[in-house]
Amino acid sequence: MSLTVDGITKRFGNFEALKGVSFTAPQGAFVALLGPSGSGKTTLLRILGGLEFPDAGSVHFADLNWLAVPARERRTGFVFQHYALFQHMTVEKNIAFGLAVKPRRERPSRAQIAKRVQELLALVQLDGLGKRYPSQLSGGQRQRVALARALAIEPRMLLLDEPFGALDAKVRKELRGWLRALHEKLGLTTIFVTHDQEEAFELADLVAVVNGGKIEQYGTPADVRQAPRSTFVRDFIEARAN
């Protein structure tokens, strides 16, 4: 169930968002796409989630031609930067959504869905908040609802777009440790996008430094840190460290 991305290009009008991106990640890896805004990292994530289609290149995941699988059948747990929670639904309804929209044959019973929702609420440490609406939650809580909702469909891959982008520094640190622990527990192949190198280096097994639609360097946090392969990578790391 490893992920192989090969030669992905994507253009929006005159803007070349991705200029031939390739990388591979083993099953269960925690991969960070690290780069400044506008570098193409979110576009890459959206392509993996089926929300965007590349102009060229291929993606293989779990021996499947991933690009041929429609978004709704990919079962990628996508957590959006601004969470994209359903505002008119309670937390419980949000989490249950992916189960409730399944075709009748595959849909769990109402009791099973309710049980699963309670388990997920416990997993993301939001017990007792199931009846609230997203607008009644803090940023960190919304973030965890979004994650629980994504996990409810038993995703084959987890995709996180700036998962801590909208949170303050303290909550960000707490959630980081918690997310890493969750990853160890679930063992899902996880790709996350961030512009924060500290976050990338602390969380990920593998870091891809993205700039101008290309991967400048791909390797373990230690490798990237100790042997930056281009001036961009060195400057980017140093600029953030200061």
Partner 1 sequence: MSPRFRSPTADHWSMRAGLTVLSLAFIGLFLVLPLIVVFGEAFADGLRPVWAAIREPDALDAIRLTLVAAAIAVPLNAVFGVAAAWTVAKFDFPGKGLLVTFIDLPFSVSPVVSGLIYVLVFGLQGWFGPWLSAHNVHIIFALPGIVLATIFVTFPFVARELIPLMTDQGRDEEEAAVSLGASGFSIFRRVTLPNIKWGLLYGVLLCNARAMGEFGAVSVVSGHIRGLTDTMPLHIEVLYNDYQYQAAFAVATLLALLALLTLALKTLLEWRYADEIAAMHHH
Residues engaged in binding partner 1 (CB under 8 A): 49-51, 71-78, 80, 82, 84-88, 97-98, 101-102, 133, 135, 149-150, 152-153
Backbone angles phi, psi at 222, to 5 degrees: -60, -45
Residue 48 CA to its chain's centroid (Å): 10
CB nearer partner 1, residue 17 or residue 209:
17
CB of 28 to partner 1, least distance (A): 20
* Paired tokens of 54: 């590349």
CB nearer partner 1, residue 77 or residue 228:
77
CB of 96 to partner 1, least distance (A): 10
> Nearest 5 degrees, angle CA 76-CA 206-CA 153?
15
CB of 38 to partner 1, least distance (A): 19
CB nearer partner 1, residue 71 or residue 123:
71
CB of 12 to partner 1, least distance (A): 10
CB of 221 to partner 1, least distance (A): 28
Residues with Cβ < 8 Å from 22, sequence gap 6 or more? 5, 6, 7, 8, 57, 215
DSSP lists the bridge partners of residue 210 as: 215
CB nearer partner 1, residue 76 or residue 217:
76
Rounded Cα distance between 8 and 21, Å, is 5
CB nearer partner 1, residue 52 or residue 205:
52
Residue 103 CB-half CA count within 13 A: 4
Residue 43 CA to its chain's centroid (Å): 12
